[in-house]
Structures are given as structure tokens and as C-alpha cells.
Amino acid sequence: MGGPKNALVVGLGRSGRAAARFLLARGDRVTATDALPLEKLDREAVALGAGGVRLVCGGHDARDFVAADLVVLSPGVPITLPQLEAARARGVPIVSELDLVADRVGPRAVLITGSNGKTTTTALVAEMLKAAGKDAIACGNYGLPLVDAVQGDPGGRWYAIEISSFQLETTHALRAAAAVLLNVQPDHIDRHGSFEAYRAAKYRVADDRAKGAPLVLGTDDPELTPLAATARPPVLQVSALRRVTAGGFVEHEELKLAIGGREETLAGVAELQLPGRHNRVNVLSAAVALRAAGFPLEPLRRAALAFTPLPHRLQEVALVRGVRFVDDSKGTNVGAVLEALVAMRETLAPGARIFTLLGGRDKDSDFRPLAAALAAQGGIPVTFGEAGPRIADVLEAAGVVAIRRGALEDAVAHAASLASPGDLVLLSPACASFDAFTGYAARGDAFVAAARALASEIVP
């Protein structure tokens, strides 16, 4: 790596702070810059200044980009930031925090991405690795930043790394033991500029694996068909709808693996604690990646059967006078809501209704597909928040009447007042949370609190 570098960290979110600490510890001269003023950053960011990091807050100084030997770009900062051009013109590497330790984790890393399901699949991979007797950690975009996760690793730890489209844009050095791409559905168009650019970023995960390492694709999504045909082999396909020759599939209500010309049964659909067709893809994808990487079947099966929904992901949180409340606050795009509606319909009696809470901050999404899905699955839309009026207008233009409310808590109370025993109130908002909350978890917590305030029976 040579001597100390002039390292510039752009963005002081969770990943940026971790990168600054890592670079400082290895002896680099570190400048960290953020568009927010110092008083709006958290204590952890302020502490970096006291620890030896030069902080430039309230905007970016082009001179810092000119002086840098290395730029570490945080996921929240777009690669189109104008000041980056000065670094590019000098040939300065612009990398993600993950690249800083790629050489230490590569052969023991499994990369997981997708528009939906990546956090659940990342957690599944970590639990399967632990069941197989490995020191394993879920990290990256979920859990700890990778540079923190490697601390204390004697050299045998495995890493289940959730990697976002933002991180994929600037991650170049990872050579993982397996890579998983679950799906690509419209999301983050406000950041990437177009669906095509977003899809191209997701496709980059195929390049971040070692020679001979498997690429696992959820090929029920037609957006992955081109990659399945062109990616460097081996490519393994996963489907909940059809048999595949190499990968994983659902047949006769069983999850099957087809690896190396041999078929094995992972689990029965009814044995899983994760609801929905999309979760069958998640479970299969995790198991296919690890089975192809040489892990035995039995611990993968044990972990799959023991795994329960993560918080804010189709998590049943309350029962109020026979009405179930389900928190899917992580359903921040239209594709996630479509899957949630199908998954919840499987759990309901015929004729039961799904009061679906939709709203938050719009990410330039196309809400039109929700209309047909709500009609097909017995969904009644209750809109709230900043994007609520636009969602309601789109649905009503398609012939689906929406119930318009203001705040999330009002939407919860109103849905509960209309629901009958056997119905379900589902928070699956199709939007980001930043109109009223600090993140999807805070929004989910608010939903849970509102539901449990009405509850006569709490679901543990």
C-alpha cells in the first residue's frame, strides 16, 4: 500500500465514519467532508475531529479532492458529485468503504444484493454459515460496516455482505466466494436517474466474485434474464415458479437444490417460518450459494427452518379484535408491496381484506402496478404522508378508490376502525420514510406502537 496517503472520505454517514476510523488507524492523513454542517451531524462524527480527522462540513471544498491520493465515497453520496471530477482527472482511485478491506475477506465473502429481500437473505447466509460451524457475520449495508466487521478476525471469519446499488457503483476489489442477485425492480430512480442505470449498478455484482465462484440469480424476475445469458459462469438460477436445471426451485411444495447434477430437498414450504413466495426465493438463494461453495446440506436446512422474519419485514406485531397487524416498513418500493400482498393473501381466508398503508417520501416511483395488485388480492389502500396524495391520485385514475389520511398513526387508527375480524392491516408503504421519520425502522416502530395501543392481544 506504500506510505501514508492523503485520504478523503466523502459523506459522514455510518459507512463514512467507519472508513475514516479505519484509515486513521492505518496511519493515513484523513479528511472527511459532508454537505451537512457539523452541528447537524451526530456525536460519532464530531468525535472523529477530536480523534485526528480533519472535518470539512457544511459543503465540499474542491481543493480537498485535488489534494487526495484516495477518495472513499459513502453510499449516500452520488457518483455525479461535481467535486469528484477533479479527482478523476488526476486518476485518483474513487472507492467504497468495502474496497478498503477487500483483500482480507474476498475468499470468505458472500455478496447479496437485490431490490427486495437482500437483508433477509444476508441474515440467512450468516445463520447458515454459523450452523455449519463458521465464525460468520452479517455486514455491509446491513449490520456493521465491513471495515468494522473485520476487526478481530484471525483469518477464518466468513462475511455475508449486503451490498447496495450505491455501493456497487464504487466497489471494484472484492472477489467473493459467491454472489447473489435476487431481483431488480424499479427503485432509487431519484438517485440513479433511470431504471436502466439502476439495473446496470445491480448487475455489477456479477463482476465482484472470484474466478469459478457462483453467481446466483432469481430468474423469476425477467430483468435478470439478460444477465443469466451473458454473465461469466457458473450461473445458478433460483425460481419459485418453475424447475431449473442448476440452482434451486420449488416443486410439490418442497424447496429443491440442483447442484453439480444432483437434486436434494432443502425443506418443505410448510416448514418455513418465513411467509410468501419471495421468501422461498430468499431461502433457496442463500442455500444455493453456500451449497455451491461446498457447504453441507444439513446445517443449511437447520438454519432455514429456524429463521423467523426480521423486524419490519412482514413481521406480525399485534392482534386487535381479530384483526392482524403486520409491519413491512422495509417495503420501500412498489415491487416489495406486490410481493407482500401475495404473501399475506396466502395467510388469509377467502374474502378477508388487506388494509394496505401506502405513503412516505416518493422516490420517483411508478405506483400504477399497485392498482391491479390491490384489486386482485383484496387490498384496500390507505394513503398517508408526503406521497399519500400522489399515490391516491394514481390509484383512483386506475379505478381503485383510496382512503386518504394524513399521518401514519391516523392511517393505522382509521384502518383498524374499518377492519373486521379476519382482516389484516399491512404497513408496506412503497416509499422511503424520510418525510416524517429518520428511517424505515423508526417508521415501523411508530406503526407497532400505534397498533399495540389498540391491541387486546400482543403477538410476541
Active site residues: 118, 141, 188
Which candidate, 64, 163, 169, places its Cα nearest to that of 115? 163
Per-residue DSSP letters for 327-380? E-TT--SHHHHHHHHHHHHTTS-TT--EEEEEESB--S---THHHHHHHHHTEE
| Residue partners of 92: CB distance under 8 A and separation at least 6 | 65, 68, 69, 70, 71
Burial category of 144 from C-beta neighbours within 10 Å (exposed 0-12, middle 13-18, buried 19 and up): middle
Strand partners, 426: 326, 356
Q: Which residue stretches of 73-210 are H helix?
A: 84-89, 102-105, 118-131, 146-149, 165-168, 189-192, 195-203
| Residue partners of 213: CB distance under 8 A and separation at least 6 | 175, 176, 177, 178, 179, 234, 293
| Residue partners of 298: CB distance under 8 A and separation at least 6 | none
Strand partners, 457: 319
Between the alpha carbon of residue 370 and those of residues 57, 219, 360, the distances in Å are 41, 22, 15
